[in-house]
Chain A
Amino acid sequence: MTAPLLSVRDLCTHFPIRGATPFSARKIVRAVDGLTFDVHRGQILSLVGESGSGKTTAGRSILRLIEPTSGEITFDGADFRALGAGDLRRARRRMQIIFQDPFASLNPRMNVGRIIAEGMKLHAIGDGARDRRDRVAMMLERVGLSADAMTRYPHEFSGGQRQRIGIARALAVAPDFILADEPVSALDVSIQAQVLNLLQDLRADLGLTMIFIAHDLSVVEYLSDRVAVMYLGRIMEIADAADLYARPTHPYTEALLSAAPIPEPGARRARILLKGETPSPVAPPSGCVFRTRCPIAGPECAQTVPGLRQVAPGHRVACLKRG
C-alpha cells in the first residue's frame, strides 16, 4: 500500500481554562486526547460524534488552525507540525477547508469573483487577472453555478448556493486535501442532497482526499470510505464505513447507530438508550471515558484506558470488553 497522504499520531489538543475563582487551580480541557489515524489519497474519512466529542477541534488541529499540544502530523511525507510560518502558508494551499455556516464564512463586502480569486492571488496561481477570472468562471460552473455569479454578492444567494461558492473557493487553489466541517448540516434536506452529490462528483473527478466532520450518521454512511467514532476527545472505533455500520463493535457506536431515526415507519431498531449525558471534558471519567454511560462497563474499565485494538482487518476498537 502507498503511504497515506495524511497521517496523525497521538494528537492532543488541550486548552487551559481559568478556575471558578481567581486563585483556584487552572484546569485543562482535553478537547482532543490521543488521536491516531491515516487518510489515504482519494479517501474520505469521517469524524463522527456528538457535541463535545472534539471532532471540530480535531479537524482544526490537523490543519494547525488551532495549535495542537502534542503528537505528530505527517502530510505527504513531511512533518507538518515542524513547518515555520512561511512554509505553513505555502502548505495550506494544498489543504483547504469548507465551513458549516455558509452565511458566516463568505465576506459580504466582496463579490463572488473576488472571494474565489483571493486564494489564487495569495498563492500566486494563474497568469494575471484575466486568467484568474477564467479560472473562477470554470470553478463556478464546476460547482453548478453560472459564471455570471462572479459579479454578485453573497447575500444574493441562498444557503445551498453559498455553500457551492465556499466549495468553489476551496477548490480554486487545487488542493490535495479538504477538511469539510459539517458542510451540509445548516442546509435544507433537498439542498443538502444536492451538495452531497456535488462533493461525491468532485471526489470522483478530482480524486480529492477529505476529512468530513459530521454528526448526521446517515450522511456519514453515505459519503465515507472510513469512519472514526469520537467520544470525549478520543476515537472509540475506526473502520471502513460498510464494516462499521454492519458490525458496530464498541458499545458507544452501537448506541449511537441505534439512536439514529430511520425514515421508514415501523423500522425502529432495538434501541440502546444511553443513560445520562456526555461528561464534561474538564473532568473526564478515569479509565475508559465512556464507562459512565456504558451498558457493559465493569470495574476494570475505571482502571485502564483502553487502546485501539484490531478486531478485524482495518477495524479497531478501544474497549476492554469488546476489543
Chain B
Amino acid sequence: MTDATGNLSHSPGTPVLEVRDLVTEFTTDEGRLRAVDGVSFALHAGQTLAVVGESGSGKSVTSLSVMGLLPARIGRIASGSIRLDGRELTGLPERAMRRVRGDDIAMIFQEPMTSLTPVYTVGDQIAEAILTHRDIGRRAARARAIELLDQVGIPEPALRARAYPHQLSGGMRQRVMIAIALSCDPRVLIADEPTTGLDVTIQAQILDLLRRLQRDSGMAILFITHDLGVVAEIADRVLVMYAGRKVEEAGVEALFATPRMPYTVGLMGSTPRPGASARPGAARLRAIRGNIPSPRKLPPGCAFHPRCDHMHEGVCTTALPPLEDAGDGHLVRCARWRDIAGVPS
C-alpha cells in the first residue's frame, strides 16, 4: 500500500533519504522556470532507485537539489522537503550542508575529468577528501587513498596514486571519482549518468563495481540515467520523469513487464531490442512522435499529451492528472491508464 504521496509504506524500515513534493525553480531572463515540479521518492539502504528521463525531464536538477548544489542565485528549492535519516536538509546553512556532502551523501558525475583537479595527483585528491571529513593524519589518509584505489579495481594502486588525472583513461577517472565518493563511507551515493560516454566494456566494469560496493557497504544509490538498458541492470525501483514531473514509479520488474504511462511505453518502444532488425519485413521502432517540450512552454494538462497516442481532448489537455496507485505501489500519472490497461475504474 502507499500513502498519499506515493511512498511505499510496506518497505522495510525508514528510508535513508526521503524527498517530498520537491519544487525547484530557476530564475531566467524570461522569468521563473520550474525545472522540478512536486517530485517525491524514498530511498532505502542497500537499494538502487533509478531516475529515468530525457533532456529537460528534471532528473539532474532533482539530484543537484538533494546535494544542495543548485547554481547560486539562479536556482532554488521553492518548496518541499528533503530528509536524510529524518533530518531536514532544505534550509541548512552551507557550512552544515558541506558536512552532509561527503559525510553522508556523495555524488559522481558523467564527466569525471571536469570534477577532478588537473594539478594534483589522484592520490592527493582522495587524501584531501578524507582529511576534510575525518580526523586522521596525512600519512593515514594517503594509505587509505591507496586502499580505496585498490577497492575500486585500479591495478597497481600505489603507483596510480601518483598519477595526474590526464594520465588516466575515462574509465579509470570514473573509478577515482568513485573512490573519492566512497572515502567517507556515505550512506547515499548519487550517480548522475556515471557511465554515459564510457565504452560499453568499461560501462560493464563500472556497473559491476557499483553493485559490488553496494553489496559490501549497504549504501543506497540514486542512479540518474537516460538508458533503459542500464536501468534494467542496476535498479531495484525506477522513477520515470517527464517535463519536471514524476510520471511513473514502480519496481524494476513491474515497470518493464507492465509499463502504465504511455511515455514509458514509448521510451521502451524507442529502444531497439536484441534480435530486432529493421531489415526488410521487420517492424519499425515504435517511436514517440513530436519533440520534447521546452520547460518555457509546457503544454497544459498532462505535459505529454501532444505526443501521446491515447490523448483525449478535454481529458488530458486541461487538468494535470494525479499520481495514482495502479496496484502494489506502481504509481502512474495518466488520466487514462485504466482505459489503456483495460482495468475497470
Q: A-side interface residues toward B, CB under 8 Å?
A: 50-51, 158, 160-161, 188-194, 196-197, 200, 204, 215, 217-219, 221-223, 225, 241-242, 245, 255-256, 258-268, 271, 273-274, 276-278
Contact = CB atoms under 8 A, between A and B. Distances in A.
A204 B147 CA distance: 57
A87 to B, nearest CB: 35
Contacts of A263: 228-229, 231-232, 256, 268, 271, 273
Interface residues of B, number: 52
Interface in B247-292: 252-253, 256, 266-280, 284-289, 291-292
Given A190-B288, A200-B284, A261-B230, A218 B208 contact: no
B233 A268 contact: yes
Contact of B278 (A196, A258, A271): A196
A218 B272 contact: yes
A110 B65 CA distance: 39
B199 A51 contact: yes
Given A193-B287, A261-B227, A266-B232, 4 more contacts: A50-B200, A50-B201, A193-B288, A259-B204
Contacts of B288: 190, 193-194
Contact of A193 (B229, B235, B270): B270
21 contacts: A51-B170, A160-B291, A188-B54, A190-B267, A193-B270, A218-B229, A221-B272, A221-B277, A222-B278, A245-B274, A256-B201, A261-B233, A262-B229, A262-B233, A263-B271, A264-B256, A265-B256, A267-B232, A271-B204, A277-B172, A277-B202
B285 A196 contact: yes
Contacts of B287: 190, 193-194, 196-197
Contacts of A266: 232, 253
Task: State the 10 A-B residue pairs at the shortest beta-carbon distance, nearest first.
Answer: A261-B229, A193-B270, A193-B287, A222-B272, A50-B199, A259-B204, A188-B54, A190-B288, A193-B285, A263-B228
Contacts of B68: none
Contacts of A264: 232, 256
A219 B200 CA distance: 13
Contacts of A242: 277, 279
B66 to A, nearest CB: 23
Contacts of B55: 188
B171 interface: yes
B199 A215 contact: yes
A267 B208 CA distance: 15
B115 interface: no
B203 interface: yes
B171 A277 contact: yes
A265 B236 CA distance: 9
B226 interface: yes
Contacts of B266: 190
Contacts of B199: 50-51, 215, 278
Interface string B209-253: 000000000000000001111111101000000000000000011
Contact of B285 (A197, A261, A265): A197
B169 A277 contact: yes
Given A161-B291, A261-B227, A192 B270 contact: yes
Contact of A260 (B200, B202, B267, B278): B200
Nearest to A225: B279
B274 to A, nearest CB: 6
Contacts of A274: 201, 205
A20 to B, nearest CB: 13
Contact of A223 (B229, B230, B278, B292): B278
A98 B253 CA distance: 38
Contacts of B267: 189-190
Contact of A189 (B54, B201, B235, B275): B54
Contacts of A262: 229, 232-233, 274
